[in-house]
Amino acid sequence: MAGALLLSACTETGGLAATRENARLPKGPPIQDIVTPFDEALECLRPRMNRDVKFAVGAVNDQTGRQSFGDSGMGAYFTQGAGEMIQSAMIRAGATVVNRRNMDIPISEAR
């Protein structure tokens, strides 16, 4: 009951939008593209990329999410998402990329 009262109070103060209204977007800083020398190198490849050739990014064994607790220190290694990073880099270079990260799909198609 108390939760329902709290939620109803939010709709009256504008915290939550009714089901037929758009929610107000919070104001914040604009989105910025961060361009590095690596991005510039990928852009340089774009005119040289053969659009008839298709590239596939398969499953990438990403072990960066593991954590270490030992003599060398403790904590997480790097962020996960190596497959997404590879796909993004190839697309930025102008490659035609097909998604084959989930190999169950082509295996199912072949059967």
pLDDT (0 to 100) of residue 21: 84
Q: Containing domain of residue 86, as a range?
A: 28-62+77-110
**Exposed/middle/buried for 104, CB within 10 Å: 0-12, 13-18, 19+?**
exposed
What sign does the dihedral 9-12-14-17 (CA atoms) show?
Answer: positive
Task: Note whether residue 20 is domain-resident.
Answer: no
pLDDT (0 to 100) of residue 69: 66
Q: pLDDT tens digits, residue range 47-104?
A: 999 989 999 887 776 666 666 666 666 666 555 677 888 888 999 999 999 877 777 7
Task: Note whether residue 19 is domain-resident.
Answer: no
Residue 27 or 18, more confident:
27
pLDDT (0 to 100) of residue 93: 93
* H or E element, residue 87: helix 82-92
Task: Note whether residue 34 is domain-resident.
Answer: yes
What's the token pair of residue 104? Answer: 């169950």
Secondary structure (3-state) at 21: coil
Q: pLDDT tens digits, residue range 31-45?
A: 888 889 999 999 999
Question: How many domains does the chain divide into?
Answer: 1
Task: Note whether residue 91 is domain-resident.
Answer: yes
Please state the pTM of the whole predicted model: 0.52
Q: Report d(CA 50, CA 96) in Å as an integer.
A: 9
pLDDT (0 to 100) of residue 11: 46
Contact 67, 76 (CB under 8 A): yes
| Cα angle value 52/54/56 (rounded, 5°) | 175
Task: Note whether residue 1 is domain-resident.
Answer: no
Contact 83, 57 (CB under 8 A): yes
